Structure 1
Amino acid sequence: MNSSRVFLRVNRVDANLCTQAREVTVSDLHEAAISRGRGGLMSSRMRPIQKGARIAGPAVTAFCAPGDNLMMHRALYLAQPGDVLVVVSDAETSGAQWGDMAARYAVKKGLAGVVVQGCVRDTDTVESLGCAVWATHILSIHPDKCGHGMVNTPVVCDGVLVNPGDLIVADGDGVICVPKGEAAATVQAAVARMRKEDEMARAVARGEAVWDLGGSAASYASMGIEEIDAAFDDH
């Protein structure tokens, strides 16, 4: 029995919210999500191919059979401008999920970017094309295109549940998924954190110390730590 399922439509997070989310960092979003009792941060394995890339957009998902990227291609075909393609392969090093031809099509189509639990290849070309890709592995194994899988169903990507339409934000620090229903409040909290840090940056430019601005001085003073006005090896 064929267990594959492909959903042709996605209920996406608001496009204006995605635009706002591109102005904040993954770190700010992570801190905002944690403060709201949420996770969503993918692991340190998920690294960018293109240095300096920053994206935000609704998730379009693909779950691929081991060594096969047929469902990735179906999801890529169905994706719309501004989407983030999230691809999951259980057998992560059994066949590349992404390469130069897919990247050329993604750039032409206007995708925001791609997140892959699995292998990508042709990375020099992918980077030169300006295709924003995050992946857990780089390996030049050729994939098949005949396997079963899923498109636009929930997937677990690098330990994080991603539902189609959720907000995906990625930058040099990694990738975070914010559930669609939590996205507005989380982005607003991240923007507030960003503005607070902007104020701190201006204070540092004026000569103030991060030691005082960030609360370290007050915390240190409350701990009763002994300070000795000498070197440890003075005699």
Structure 2
Amino acid sequence: MSEPTTQAVWPPGWSIQPNGASIAPSVIAAWRAIPVAVAGDCMGRSIGATGLRAYHPELDAVLCGRAITVRTRPGDNLVIHQAMQMAEPGDVIVIDAGADVSQAIVGGLIRTTAQARRLGGFVIDGAVRDLLEWAEGGMPCFARGHTHRGPSKDGPGAINVPISCAGLVVQPGDLLLADADGIIAIPQAELEALMPKVQAHLQREAEIRAINASQGGNPQRVLAMLKAKGLPV
């Protein structure tokens, strides 16, 4: 399916823009091995979605791919269907549905489509339904809540525009990274420079973990930090 052109004039509340730039498979594979907590530490420890939970059963599942952003009226999923048709294999559908959980906007039928199109998963600031189907696994999904009440398909909505999803700012084309700990978005322009910092952080954590395991912690390190605060220890 061809993508819309940016020259189109959209009615109020509507906008369908092209997907963000592709991310090389090798880059996605490298970031898939990075824990969200480590990436978040290297990005200031204050970035990430809050209040969402996993609806897939695999605790070790990692969601990592290009973000296709969606902003929709609470309880309506018309533009979500279009976003899925625009998405490529591995892409992640990231949805700002206003944190509303009174009507589900993604369910088992959408899950089936996503599997057929080999999408990377969903991050939804809204509600899902058909929990038994999500419990079958194979399609990562993070959402704010769930309900049996289904969606409308009236719009309006927008695709590939900047959104805020559960407190996380996501631009179209960002790398969306999620695991059992949380969810973050990394701008493509920052991926190359951030990776060495992440690798160094992983090395520091490995060294600290080894000391903690062999010595039951590092009292000298703790004392040094306390003294740096001016405490008489």
Whether the 8 Å contact between 2:99 and 2:166 is mirrored in structure 1 is no
How many residues of Structure 1 are paired with residues of Structure 2 in the alignment?
219
Q: From the superposition, tell whether residues 142 and 116 of structure 1 become closer, same or farther in structure 2 (CA, over 3 Å).
A: same
Deviations 1:106-134 (A, max 9, x none): 12222221100100111221121321011
Q: From the superposition, tell whether residues 98 and 200 of structure 1 become closer, same or farther in structure 2 (CA, over 3 Å).
A: same
Whether the 8 Å contact between 2:212 and 2:218 is mirrored in structure 1 is no
Structure 1 equivalent of residue 48 of structure 2: 41
- Superposition TM-score, scaled by structure 2 size: 0.85
Structure 2 equivalent of residue 59 of structure 1: 67
The CA deviation at 1:195 is: 2.3
Aligned to 1:2, which of 11, 20, 23? Answer: 11
Letter in 1 for 2:217: V
Are 1:174 and 2:194 an aligned pair?
no
Deviations 1:48-94 (A, max 9, x none): 11241212111001111222101111111111111111011126124
Deviations 1:10-37 (A, max 9, x none): 21344322211111111101110117xx
Q: CA RMSD in A?
A: 2.1
Structure 1 stretches of 4+ with a deviation exceeding 4 A read none
Whether the 8 Å contact between 2:211 and 2:218 is mirrored in structure 1 is no
Structure 2: stretches of 5+ with no match in the other structure = 1-9
Are 1:79 and 2:87 an aligned pair?
yes
Q: From the superposition, tell whether residues 113 and 204 of structure 1 become closer, same or farther in structure 2 (CA, over 3 Å).
A: same
Q: What is the SS of the residue equivalent to 2:94? A: strand
Percent identity of the aligned residues?
27
Any residues of structure 2 matched to 1:1-235 within 5 Å, and which? 2-3=11-12, 4-34=14-44, 39-43=46-50, 45-50=51-56, 51-52=58-59, 53-90=61-98, 92-205=100-213, 207-212=214-219, 215-220=221-226, 223-225=231-233
- Bigger-Rg structure (1/2): 1
Distance 1:91 1:28 in 2: 27
The CA deviation at 1:196 is: 2.1
Whether the 8 Å contact between 2:99 and 2:125 is mirrored in structure 1 is no
Q: Which sits farther off after the overlay, 181-190 or 130-139?
A: 181-190
Q: From the superposition, tell whether residues 40 and 13 of structure 1 become closer, same or farther in structure 2 (CA, over 3 Å).
A: farther
Distance 1:182 1:14 in 2: 14
Q: From the superposition, tell whether residues 194 and 91 of structure 1 become closer, same or farther in structure 2 (CA, over 3 Å).
A: closer
Q: From the superposition, tell whether residues 147 and 173 of structure 1 become closer, same or farther in structure 2 (CA, over 3 Å).
A: same
- Superposition TM-score, scaled by structure 1 size: 0.84
Letter in 1 for 2:165: C
The CA deviation at 1:188 is: 2.8
Whether the 8 Å contact between 1:12 and 1:164 is mirrored in structure 2 is no
Distance 2:224 2:19 in 1: 52
